[in-house]
């Protein structure tokens, strides 16, 4: 290779400087992050406890049945008193929109908060590494010593315990997930009798395998190489977004100090590497913002401890925006940031839609479908007859009997059935014939209203506006 | 291939370089290679389990014995199993009972759509209303040539129908035809004249259409006093019907109106039963060998005809 080419090649390799640490996150080296107490550690624990809802929620009872039951086979979602049918599924769309935008809004304000404190990958990995640390040593040195030691009863017992606990959590995760979609107590009974449905076993199996692999072995590799949200959230940052950042201006040039000495030529960073040691994804925050950072704040807790010990002000690593660090500017007020304004607006719209939906959940769904072929029929005495299919969906928990009438056209008469008995959760169609004598036909299209009331429940009234059709006038 | 001697610490490259960009020779990730080998293995598994290799006469069967047509038949059997309880119940019910039972009515309507579409819609239209001017009876109105009660509709479907009207081109004088056309139009509008009525009676029209001109169900003759036209209400078309008749064999211009029989055997049985009841006999004691000679066509089953009767009845004109 020529001299020139050689030089170029080196330049190209420089491009990869950014990713020089990637070998850590490709499975070659297992990260054993040191655990230190602090504000953000407490916040992380708090975020983690919210996930207890996943495990305990399905056992909550309400009026004798499961409080929250996503009953897919019967096409209905039960939330306490409310039952959601496919007709109301738009509320689910709005709910999903709400949470998607909430993710975006929070990310644009304070970075990957979801990743750092609440994401199941973070949470389950944290629990798994906690168990591993307790059993195999909680520092890289101890862990390496344990793993390179020859096999002994003690080592086997610890290894087996670790994997058993991991699997137990994984299986419980799977069962808890499935329990939201089927009667929870019945599920446990079925599982113990090996009578549960095939989908239940498959889903529990998939969750067990997934949890065990992702939280036990892949860990931060999932965030690096699998997760789309990790990439997605990165693009929502702007210069006002506050992120755990290393204050290089104050910290550099870094260097070790001797006890009781003070060196004016050096910055605040004592190069103790604790911030790297505590990082669950194995990055060095002092290199600046990078894709591996899940913004969990562990390095902030760690650095603050060191600052305290070396008698320096806290906050060498702190939540700070790019503007604050590089332009010494205070970040823009929230209400002045277009991103925040737009996200909030969408959040409000989605939320009010869902609230409106819940407030106005109709106990029935009443529809009148006009016959399309033929649109109208002339009877032997000249009367025009239209045929309608009247449909009622009963969303209440009782069987209801609906009587319906028509209004809006003079001389119109209703023939065929005018009452329907509908069981809970069922739709019943009946055929209704409306006749209008020729002399009352004033136009080829006349609005007609179907009105109905329920015998046993006078609070339920329904109405539907349809059209009555006749020959062209 | 360039080795790493020239650039220690760097990834091996293939020696190719364009504009300073080296083609690196990184090994494929282990998991990726394993996936590749595994998918290759799956191909073999597929070949063993499923029909795959085409041989001279037929392909290999595969260990599972799976075929597409079997899968279709299994699925069809599932649908039929689901329908079976309804079909069984339907077979034992009369049309009147089905019409009164909301659940069975909905089932009969739902399951007859295809049946009607395959056998009836070509003439009578998808929703029971044929295209204007096509010359087929409308099934959605309340005017029935042969009756709109469930049993009458059932007989019409089973036995078929063929009305008959004599061609009058050689019987009536042209001015008489003009007067009768006017009478028919006036009757429909309720303003028939005495003179018209007198001619109608004198020329023997009443023999088929009745003294009141309202038609006779037994013959399937049209009601001339209502607003519904069997063929057309245009004076020229009425004239054509009078001149050439309906189903008049010797007149090539005659109107053709034939409804095929869909189950002759059932038609005979229905008639025999009705006669037995009318004569005060037990319909269960009818000697079917005597009634049926074994040549009767059965294009549709009794249950299918029952379903179609329900379907037609609920079009909006059933009585």
Per the structure block, which two tokens stand in for A58? 């399905």
Per the structure block, which two tokens stand in for A2? 């020529």
> How many other C-beta atoms are found inside a 10 Å radius of the C-beta of residue A46?
11
Q: What is the mean pLDDT of each run of 10 residues along chain A (473 residues)?
A: 48 60 73 90 93 94 90 87 84 92 91 92 95 90 90 93 96 96 93 92 96 92 89 85 91 78 78 91 88 91 92 91 85 85 94 90 88 89 92 87 91 86 87 91 91 84 92 83
On chain B, the residues whose CB falls within 8 A of the CB of A380 are: 141-143, 223, 226-228
Provide the shortest C-alpha distance from residue A12 to chain B (in Å). Answer: 7
Return the pLDDT at A50.
95
Inter-residue contact B307 to B113 (CB < 8 Å): no
Rounded Cα distance between A353 and A90, Å, is 9
User: Which CATH architecture does the domain made up of B164-256 adopt?
Assistant: Orthogonal Bundle (1.10)
Per the structure block, which two tokens stand in for A36? 């230190």
Q: Does the distance separating the beta carbons of B314 and A431 come in below 8 Å?
A: yes
Q: Does the distance separating the beta carbons of B106 and A1 come in below 8 Å?
A: no
Write the CA distances from A57 to A51, A169, A172, A197, integer angstroms: 10, 16, 13, 21
Q: Does the distance separating the beta carbons of A385 and B141 come in below 8 Å?
A: yes
Name the nearest CA neighbour of A449 among A435, A436, A433, A466.
A466
Task: Describe the strand order of the beta sheet including A76-79 as a list of residue ranges.
Answer: A68-71, A76-79, A82-84
Treating both helix axes as pointing N-terminal to C-terminal, what angle do A198-213 and A184-192 enclose, rounded to 10 degrees?
A: 90
Return the pLDDT at B225.
92
Q: Containing H/E element for A370?
A: strand A364-370
Q: Where in chain B is the domain with CATH 1.10.760.10?
A: 164-256
Inter-residue contact A317 to A247 (CB < 8 Å): yes
Q: Identify the bridge partners of residue A129 per DSSP, sorted by sequence position.
A: none
Tens digits of pLDDT across chain B (319 residues): 444 455 555 677 888 888 988 888 888 888 899 999 999 999 999 999 999 888 898 888 889 989 999 999 999 999 999 999 999 999 999 999 999 888 899 899 999 999 999 999 999 998 899 988 888 999 999 999 999 999 999 999 999 999 999 999 999 999 999 999 999 999 999 899 999 999 999 999 999 999 999 999 989 999 999 989 999 889 999 999 999 999 999 999 999 999 999 999 999 988 888 888 888 888 888 888 888 888 888 899 999 999 999 999 999 888 8
What 3 state SS string does A389-445 have?
Answer: EEEEEECCCCCEEEEEEEECCCCCEEEECCEEEECCCCEEEEEEEEEECHHHCCCCE
Q: Does the distance separating the beta carbons of A9 and B17 come in below 8 Å?
A: yes
B interface with A, Cβ–Cβ < 8 A, is 2, 6-7, 10, 17, 20-22, 102, 106, 125-129, 138, 140-143, 223, 226-228, 314-317
Interface check for A12 against chain B (CB to CB < 8 A): the answer is yes
Return the pLDDT at A21.
65
Q: Does the distance separating the beta carbons of A6 and B20 come in below 8 Å?
A: no
Q: How does the average pLDDT of chain B come out, rounded?
A: 90
Provide the shortest C-alpha distance from residue B154 to chain A (in Å). Answer: 21
ipTM of the complex: 0.78
pTM for the model: 0.69
Name the nearest CA neighbour of A210 among A164, A173, A162.
A173
Return the pLDDT at A18.
59
- Mind listing the pLDDT tens digit for each residue in A8-20? 555 555 656 656 6
Inter-residue contact B187 to B213 (CB < 8 Å): yes
Cβ under 8 Å to B: A residues 386-425 = 387, 417, 420-421
Q: Identify the bridge partners of residue A427 per DSSP, sorted by sequence position.
A: A393
On chain A, the residues whose CB falls within 8 A of the CB of B21 are: 12
Mention every residue, 6+ apart, whose C-beta is less than 8 A from residue A137: A32, A143, A145, A146
Task: Describe the strand order of the beta sheet including A419-422 as a list of residue ranges.
Answer: A419-422, A400-407, A445-454, A461-469
Rounded Cα distance between A76 and A83, Å, is 7
DSSP 8-class letter at B26: P
Is residue A199 helix, strand or coil? Answer: helix
Helical spans, DSSP H, in A193-258: 198-213, 220-221, 228-234, 248-251
Interface check for A23 against chain B (CB to CB < 8 A): the answer is no
Rounded Cα distance between A266 and A274, Å, is 18
Q: Where in chain A is the domain with CATH 2.60.40.10?
A: 364-469
What 3 state SS string does A18-32 have?
Answer: HHCCHHHHHCCCCCC
Q: Which residue is closest to B15 within chain A, CA to CA?
A: A1
Return the pLDDT at A14.
61
Cβ under 8 Å to B: A residues 281-320 = none
* Per CATH, domain A364-469 is 2.60.40.10: yes
Is residue A374 helix, strand or coil? Answer: coil
Rounded Cα distance between A289 and A448, Å, is 65
Burial of A303 (0-12, 13-18, 19+ CB in 10 A): buried
């Amino acid at each position: 290779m020529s001299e020139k080419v050689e030089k170029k090649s080196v330049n190209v390799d420089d491009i990869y400087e950014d990713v020089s640490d990637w070998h850590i996150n490709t499975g070659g080296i297992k990260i054993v992050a040191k655990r230190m107490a602090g504000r953000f550690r407490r916040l992380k624990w708090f975020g983690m406890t919210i996930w207890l809802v996943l495990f305990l929620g399905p056992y909550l009872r309400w009026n004798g049945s499961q409080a929250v039951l996503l009953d897919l086979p019967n096409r209905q979602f039960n939330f306490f008193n409310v039952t959601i049918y496919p007709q109301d599924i738009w509320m689910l769309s709005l709910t999903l929109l709400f949470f998607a935008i909430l993710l975006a809004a929070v990310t644009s304000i304070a970075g990957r908060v979801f990743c750092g404190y609440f994401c199941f990958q973070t949470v389950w990995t944290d629990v798994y590494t906690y168990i591993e640390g307790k059993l195999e040593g909680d520092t890289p040195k101890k862990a390496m010593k344990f793993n390179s030691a020859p096999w002994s009863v003690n080592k086997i017992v610890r290894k087996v315990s670790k994997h058993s606990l991991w699997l137990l959590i994984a299986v419980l995760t799977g069962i808890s997930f499935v329990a939201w979609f089927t009667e929870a107590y019945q599920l446990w009974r079925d599982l113990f009798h090996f009578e549960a449905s095939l989908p239940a076993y498959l889903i529990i199996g998939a969750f067990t395998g997934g949890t065990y692999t992702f939280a036990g072995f892949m860990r931060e590799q999932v965030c690096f190489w699998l997760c789309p949200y990790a990439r997605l959230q990165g693009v929502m940052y702007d210069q006002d977004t506050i992120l755990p950042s290393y204050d290089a201006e104050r910290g550099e040039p870094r260097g070790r100090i001797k006890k009781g000495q003070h060196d004016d030529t050096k910055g605040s960073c004592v190069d103790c590497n604790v911030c790297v040691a505590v990082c669950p994804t194995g990055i060095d925050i002092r290199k600046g913002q990078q894709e591996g950072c899940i913004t969990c704040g562990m390095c902030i807790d760690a650095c603050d401890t060191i600052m305290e010990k070396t008698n320096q002000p806290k906050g060498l690593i702190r939540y700070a925006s790019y503007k604050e660090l590089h332009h010494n500017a205070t970040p823009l007020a929230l209400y002045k940031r277009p991103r925040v304004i737009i996200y909030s607006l969408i959040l409000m719209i989605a939320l009010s839609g869902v609230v409106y939906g819940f407030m106005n959940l109709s106990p029935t769904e009443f529809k009148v479908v006009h016959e399309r072929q033929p649109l109208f029929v002339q009877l032997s005495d000249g009367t025009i007859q239209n045929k309608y299919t009247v449909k009622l969906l009963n969303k209440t928990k009782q069987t209801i009997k609906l009587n319906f009438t028509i209004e809006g056209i003079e001389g119109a008469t209703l023939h065929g059935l005018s009452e329907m008995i509908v069981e809970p959760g069922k739709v019943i169609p009946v055929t209704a014939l409306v006749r209008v004598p020729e002399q009352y036909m004033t136009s080829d299209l006349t609005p007609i209203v179907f009105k109905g009331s329920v015998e046993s429940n006078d609070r339920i009234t329904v109405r539907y506006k349809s059209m009555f059709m006749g020959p062209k006038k | 291939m360039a080795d790493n001697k020239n650039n220690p610490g760097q990834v091996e490259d293939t020696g190719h370089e364009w504009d300073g960009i080296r083609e690196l020779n990184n090994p494929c990730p282990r998991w990726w290679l394993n996936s590749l080998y595994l998918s290759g293995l799956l191909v073999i598994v597929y070949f063993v389990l499923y029909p795959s290799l085409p041989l001279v006469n037929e392909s290999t069967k595969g260990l599972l014995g799976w075929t597409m047509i079997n899968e279709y038949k299994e699925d069809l059997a599932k649908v039929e199993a689901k329908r079976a309880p309804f079909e069984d119940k339907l077979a034992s019910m009369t049309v009147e009972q089905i019409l009164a039972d909301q659940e069975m009515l909905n089932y009969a309507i739902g399951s007859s759509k295809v049946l009607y579409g395959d056998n009836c819609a070509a003439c009578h239209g998808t929703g029971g209303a044929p295209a204007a001017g096509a010359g087929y009876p409308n099934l959605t109105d309340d005017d029935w040539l042969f009756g709109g009660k469930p049993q009458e509709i059932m007989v019409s479907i089973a036995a078929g129908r063929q009305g008959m009207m004599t061609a009058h081109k050689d019987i009536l004088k042209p001015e008489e035809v003009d007067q009768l056309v006017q009478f028919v139009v006036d009757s429909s509008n309720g303003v028939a004249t005495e003179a018209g009525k007198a001619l109608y009676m004198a020329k023997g029209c009443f023999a088929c259409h009745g003294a009141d001109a309202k038609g006779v169900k037994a013959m399937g003759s049209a009601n001339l006093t209502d607003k519904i036209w069997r063929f057309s209400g245009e004076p020229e078309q009425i004239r054509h019907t009078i001149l050439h008749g309906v189903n008049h064999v010797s007149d090539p211009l005659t109107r053709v109106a034939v409804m095929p029989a869909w189950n002759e055997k059932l038609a005979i049985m229905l008639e025999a039963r009705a006669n037995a009841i009318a004569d005060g006999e037990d319909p269960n004691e009818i000697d079917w060998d005597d009634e049926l000679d074994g040549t009767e066509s059965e294009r549709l089953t009794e249950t299918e005809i029952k379903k179609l009767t329900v379907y037609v009845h609920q079009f909006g004109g059933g009585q």
